[in-house]
Structure 1
C-alpha cells in the first residue's frame, strides 16, 4: 500500500513544494493581505500573535498536499503535461477550492464567499503548477 511513497520522485515533490511555498509567501502577505483581513472581518483588530502553528502550519499543509498530488499522479500514471494540467485543475477546483468555501461557510467567517474567492486562485494555480512540476521532473 505504501509502495507508492517509494515510487514518487522526491526531487519533484521538493521542487513543487518550494514553488508553492514561494507563491504563498507572495500571494497572501503581499497580493491579498488587505482584502484577506477584510474577508476575515479583522479590519479593526490588531495583528494576531505569532505562533508556531500559525507560521509553520500553512507550510506543512502545502507539503502534505504536494505529497498527496505526487502519490495520486504516480498511482494514476499521469505522464503528459496536458493530463497534469487537467489533474491540477480537478484537485485545485474540485477539492481545494471547494473545501475552502466549505470551511468558510462556518458562521465565524463574516464574508465566506469573499474569503473563498480570495483563496481559490492560490489553490488552483499551485495545484496546476505542482502537477506540472511533478510530471516534468518525475
Structure 2
C-alpha cells in the first residue's frame, strides 16, 4: 500500500486539491453564499472574520479525500476520463453526498435539506473535477 502512496502523481493530487478548494471558495462565498447562510440559520447574523481553521480544515479533509480517491483509482486502474467521471460520481453520491446529508440531519442545522443540497452538490462537482485531474498525464 505504501508503494502506491509514494507512486501517486503528486502534481495531479495538489492540482486537484487547489481546484477543489477554490471551487469551495467560489461555491460558498459567491454562488450560494445567501442560501448557505440561510441553511445554517445565520442569514441575519453579522459575518465573523474568517478564522484559518475554516480554510485549512476543509483543505486537509479534501486532501485526504483526494489521496484516497487517487489510491482507489490506482488499484482499480482507472486511467480514462470517462471512467474517472463514473467513479467520481459513485464516490460523490455514495460517500460524500450521503455523509453530507447525514451530517446535515442534526438539530443544529435548521434547514438540513437545503444544507445537504448545497454541500452535496459542491462535493459531487468537486470530486468529479478532482477525478478528472487525477487521470491526466501532465
Is the TM-score greater than 0.5?
yes
Question: 1: distance between equivalents of 2:65 and 2:120?
Answer: 15
Q: Secondary structure, in 3 states, of the residue corresponding to 1:44?
A: coil
Separation in structure 1 between the aligned mates of residue 8 and residue 105 of structure 2, nearest angstrom: 35
DSSP 3-state at the match of 2:63:
helix
Describe how 1:45-60 pairs up with structure 2 within 5 A: 45-60=45-60
Whether contact under 8 Å (1:17, 1:63) holds in the other structure is yes
Paired with 1:137 and 1:12, the residues of 2 have a C-alpha distance of 9
Check whether the contact 1:92–1:124 (CA below 8 A) recurs between aligned residues.
yes
Query: Is 2:94 the partner of 1:102?
Result: no
In the aligned structure 2, how far is the partner of 1:58 from the partner of 1:48?
18
Equivalence for 1:85: 85
What is the count of residue pairs matched by the alignment? Answer: 138
| 1:83-113 residue CA offsets vs partner (Å, 9 max, x unmatched) | 1111100111111011000000011111101
Match of 1:62 in 2: 62
Q: Taking structure 1 as reference, are residues 18 and 55 closer, same or farther at Cα in structure 2, changes over 3 Å only?
A: closer
Q: What's the offset of the Cα at 1:56? A: 1.5
Residue matched to 2:40: 40
TM (norm. structure 1) is: 0.92
Q: C-alpha distance in 2, partners of 1:58/1:31? A: 18
Please state if 1:22 is matched with 2:22: yes
Q: Which runs of 5+ in 1 are unaligned?
A: none
Deviation at 1:48, TM superposition (A): 3.4
TM-score normalised to the size of structure 2? Answer: 0.92
Contact 1:11 1:137 in 2 (8 A): no
